[in-house]
Structure 1
Amino acid sequence: MSERPAHFEPTDDGAFLPTRFAQSHWGEDHLNGPAVVGLAARVLEREFGLDDFLPARLTVDLFKAARGVPTTAKTNLVRDGRRVRNSECELVQDGVTVARATLVQYRRAEAPRGEEWTASAEFDIPSHADPARSIHLGSDEKGWTQAIVDHQNTARKRTWTRSIQVVAGTENSPFVNAVAAAEGTSLVTNLGTAGVGYINGDLTVALSRLPVDEWVGVQADSHWVADGISVGTATLYDRAGAFGSGMVTAVSNPAAQIDFGNDPFPSRTH
């Protein structure tokens, strides 16, 4: 067993065995979002990534709750084009697909002539970030703290995250770090005064470049809700500025709502 925290341990037959660090707040045997989307990103990048191509968009559909059992991956290269590469991956548990991911890669190229509109973007990195912690949370109401419960409010929220290893024994790539952090789009958009009452069914991450180091910030941009359905978007940041976007759609799940003030597992990732 690896001494460093990791979501999965590799097995001799090519599967991935979830560790306690992959457990979710939603249930004792549920896996957290960063573990699932991080594994999909790692598999696709290792199988189909090329240095000349940027992993520009990853969409992960979460079909059902992934659990603490051996997980395998099925992959397929859909298109191997000169400028665009498309691939897909299914994460399978006990013969059932629990998540399906699609990756779009674009060949890096010289920018076109002229100038374009760019949104103004500001993100204040926590000045006293604890290097021993993997996540810091902030909101316009409370500033930066180390407890999710501090931000059960209606203010705009943000995270500053350094992801643990997705698979033990291998460092995360910048792409995997970006995807794992971007899953926090659900947290920064759906966390309210009574905790999180929506469970996301997907994640889309869109990148213009890769992060400059292992720390990634996620800041809420929009949150729209009606009839128990939520849509949230966020901007991704690193020490050099904004570099991508995250989007999640989610469905109301009040029967299992997570109130972090009453959470018996405060160290787990949402």
Structure 2
Amino acid sequence: MAEHTFFTRDTASRYLPAPRAFSLWGPDALNGPAVCAVAAHAVETGHTRAGWRPARFTIELFKAARGLPTEVRTRVARSGGRILVIDFDVLQDDPESREVLVASGVTVFLREGTNPPGSRWSRPAAELTFAAPIVDDTDAHPRFGGDAGWTSTMADMQHAERKRMWSAPIPVAPDSPLTAFQRAVIGGESASLMTNWGEGGIGFINCDLTVAIARLPRGTRIGIEADSHWEADGISIGTASLYDEAGPFGSAAVTAVENSRAMIDFATLTPPIWTDQA
């Protein structure tokens, strides 16, 4: 149903924003997960190949998307024996019937194979600090974690501690079942929230997102944990690790710019609804 998706369908290639696509940055502004989701959906729908896996998704969010008809156009930039590169543009139709480019990016598909021989370093399981909360299967509300444990109330997280999230992303459109790749991209967009959220709320808005995945996530929920945050002169960068029910599977990185004039204080504002909250 449309109330549980980011968009509805206008035509085969055009999407209309649904209520869950909107953000708290402004009355007509779409949220980052919705824009990333519709791009990932279009790329995957048009370019999936058997034996190939989407390994990297990068999007430049250089103009605020609004509550307007939205279209994603894709094109093959490179097609080789082991790599397939797809460029994409996210466009919207404004009231004056002009096309406005709001985002663009690239998705890299890699051909699956076997790992090289020998062992390589990875973070030992004993050093992993993300452990998913126990959530009833009928409860899809997101959980937010800090040093004190997990909560479903965003106001409880208005502090400068490291942050974690466990959520169930929603589909792009009613006729488009959510895929593992789209789930990873939608969950990965929360890297901006997890790394830029602090005392008083979130005052940085991300202008890009890169999600890199070694394998497709399993299950319906995505976990994300802040790994780093650095800021100076109104610019921040953040990285986060992505988890599913089996453990870590990828990472996300964002660059963000100061947006204090529209700072979102989750202690006073209704939280965003990009996850499957009934």
TM-score range, shorter chain: over 0.9
Q: CA deviation at 1:269?
A: 4.3
Query: Equivalents in 2 of 1:39, 1:117: separation in Å?
Result: 35
Q: TM-score, normalised by structure 2?
A: 0.92
Q: How does 1:52-91 map to 2 (within 5 A)?
A: 52-91=51-90
1:25 touches 1:269 (CA, 8 Å); kept in 2?
no
Q: How does 1:29-178 map to 2 (within 5 A)?
A: 29-94=28-93, 95-120=99-124, 121-129=128-136, 131-140=138-147, 142-178=148-184
Query: Equivalents in 2 of 1:203, 1:32: separation in Å?
Result: 13
Query: Equivalents in 2 of 1:18, 1:3: separation in Å?
Result: 9
More strand by share: 1
2:5 touches 2:174 (CA, 8 Å); kept in 1?
yes
Partner of 2:208: 202
Segments of 4+ in structure 1 off by > 4 A? none
2:2 touches 2:173 (CA, 8 Å); kept in 1?
no
Q: CA deviation at 1:21?
A: 0.8
Q: CA deviation at 1:266?
A: 2.7
Q: Residues 51-106 of structure 1: CA distance to partner in whole angstroms, max 9, x if unpaired? A: 21111100010011101110011110111111000001111012011011200111
Instruction: Determine what percentage of the aligned residue pairs are the same residue.
Output: 42
SS at match of 1:117: coil
What RMSD in Å do the two structures reach over aligned CA positions?
1.5
Amino acid at match of 1:135: P
Amino acid at match of 1:93: Q
1:137 touches 1:144 (CA, 8 Å); kept in 2?
yes
Q: Residues 19-77 of structure 1: CA distance to partner in whole angstroms, max 9, x if unpaired? A: 11111011110111111101111100111121211111000100111011100111101
Q: CA deviation at 1:145?
A: 0.6
- Shift in CA distance, 71/208, structure 1 to aligned 2, threshold 3 Å: same
Amino acid at match of 2:114: E
- Shift in CA distance, 258/178, structure 1 to aligned 2, threshold 3 Å: same
Q: CA deviation at 1:199?
A: 0.3
Q: TM-score, normalised by structure 1?
A: 0.95
1:129 touches 1:136 (CA, 8 Å); kept in 2?
no
Q: CA deviation at 1:122?
A: 3.4
SS at match of 1:46: helix
1:226 to 229, 232, 244: 232
Gaps of 5+ in 2: 94-98
Query: Equivalents in 2 of 1:9, 1:179: separation in Å?
Result: 19
Q: CA deviation at 1:12?
A: 2.8
Q: CA deviation at 1:134?
A: 4.0
Amino acid at match of 1:22: A
Gaps of 5+ in 1: none
Q: CA deviation at 1:130?
A: 6.4
Query: Equivalents in 1 of 2:203, 2:224: separation in Å?
Result: 20
2:267 to 261, 264, 267: 261
Query: Equivalents in 2 of 1:8, 1:240: separation in Å?
Result: 30
SS at match of 1:37: helix
